Structure 1
Amino acid sequence: MSSRIRPTPRHFIRVDRVQLAALPFPSFRIFAPSSPGNPRVSRDAAGSGPADRWLQWIVSVKTSLIVVLLLLPLTALAQEGEIPRTLDAPTDVWTEPNPGLRHLDRRYARPSIRVHALVVDTRVEGVRLVATPESERWGTVTDFAERHEAAAAINGGFWGLWQSPHGITAGGGALWERSTPDPDFGHFGVLASGRGVVRGPGEGEDDRSLAQLSEAVAGRPILVAAGQVDTAGLDAFEAANLRQPRTAVGVSRDGRTFVLAVVDGRQGHSVGFTLYQLARLLVELGAHRAINLDGGGSSAMVVSREGGLVTSPARGRWVRALGLGEEETRQVRTADGATDVYVRGVEREVMNHIAVIAPPPTHDVAVRGVDSALADGLGPSDRGVAVLAPARSSPIRLGQLREVLIPALYLTAPALLLLGVVVLRRRRLS
């Protein structure tokens, strides 16, 4: 037998699935060097002894992982502008559940999309916007709306791997202690004067500007600038053309009128909006500046006088992975027998929120219950639109405990994985 040393075998790393918009990291399968259970390479290809084989294996794994990490950014295709998408004429229903608060329920048939928007006029006495105080972080939009007896509410800004907010965050008249500027995130804010502002990354982050903030949530990218779609900014954002559940907030030129929008997505009754479509909606509704907020499974809107949660939150990835929550459709009994209806999704906890405080109506206002057809026995065919059953709260409710548990999971998971690989390797070498 030849004593010539053969080249160290390469590890095969296969990317099972990469979902840039939904997963925090891809899933890899690593095939170790030769072993009785691995026919990909010969037994003696790993080196002249156990120590050599272990050293070569570790070096090979590290090299492979470095290559993968370097190449991952290339999986996001370069953005060259908006991909044209055709929408049919929408069907709009406007209501005014409270003074100074108007609610738009918009539906597109082809493709099927459901949009909700609030236009809030703070020039009306008693109307104002508030965001989540740090002590009240981590709850559903419904929780926050009920706690503050709000007329309406939406989910707020982004958070990171360690369950801390990205960018400037404030609520209850004070900055969060965990709030720090982030070069990639701007923010929507309400000043002590009540005027709204939308600022891009690096804007309004000096001490004087921050001292004037009463409420703030972080977001990205800027959607609308000077009353126009910020095309240049969106062209540089890799996810701008993806249809997703969306949440956004905009302000008028004088900062006294606010536009809050939530778009359902990833569901049979609604495919979602691109960021370009979202920006055009905000311009249409009067936004002079606007910013994108946390979307996906976080997107949710409550309108208290219209039955509470009016949107259909998409199930989060962990709820889907564990098989928890409602199925997308279910059967209900109507006057004409059983019929399929869409389920309004699963509402998840989010770090912070934006709520609209408004006085009650001074006279009786006809307010429709969203999708009240379930109560009067009418099916989807009677209305020509999808009927939505009420949402349920996510079965995964950790509250502020998540700030300890989830980072611990991320820290220990690699160690447990490495331990498993070592044990498996020892068995194969024995």
Structure 2
Amino acid sequence: MRPSVFYRVITTDGGAAQQWSGYNLNVFEQYADGSVLYTPARGESVPVTCAGAALTVRNGVTTDYRAVAAGESLTIPADGYVLWMGSAFTATHYYQIPELGRTVAMEPYLRVEDEEGFVMDGVTSLISGAPRLVKDGAIETYLDPGFTEARFTTSITPRTAVGTTADGKLLLVSVPSASIQQMRELMLQLGCQDAINLDGGASTAMYYNGQTLATPGRQLTTTLQVFVNP
């Protein structure tokens, strides 16, 4: 699916309701009409590249709110998070200036209903990939914006992919060299009803049953891990 996941910080203490949306999570890109939620997973701090305002939450309570300028650095509390909001974001007529000392909760939500029926119920983690390789049991050739470069299409390079079969099996696949078209054909041949390409090149890695089957060429920032109880 292609869910449009946002994150909202919403008051829960019974007072006058306030809420703010984070359009992105832990990304460096900042723009005037956007907002980014930074958690300790991003690190201890993050640079400000676009003027705006920052709301800090610690232990579920709003503790600081201030204007920030490009060139500053935001401290990310180990016991909370910070929501950066661009100057155009905070200038809208519906924007609410945060009150300090409020009890809040942070939760992901879908900005718009997903056209393929994806819902957030029961989701504990998400991983993204592109381009899509197989959809509903057929090769998918649509390329998402930002994934039309040769390294995502025609280049022959180590690649990884994940797919599901009609009988509910999860397939994790690693190959030493392939183009995206070859990955489409491979995942279809393996019986996938749906499959997507994951990061490749130096990021290609596969570890199974105590053995490293494909060694990455760099440190990995995101991994898909499956644990099976004996």
Q: Same fold (TM over 0.5)?
A: no
TM-score range relative to shorter protein: 0.3 to 0.5
More strand by share: 2
User: Higher Cα Rg: structure 1 or 2?
Assistant: 1
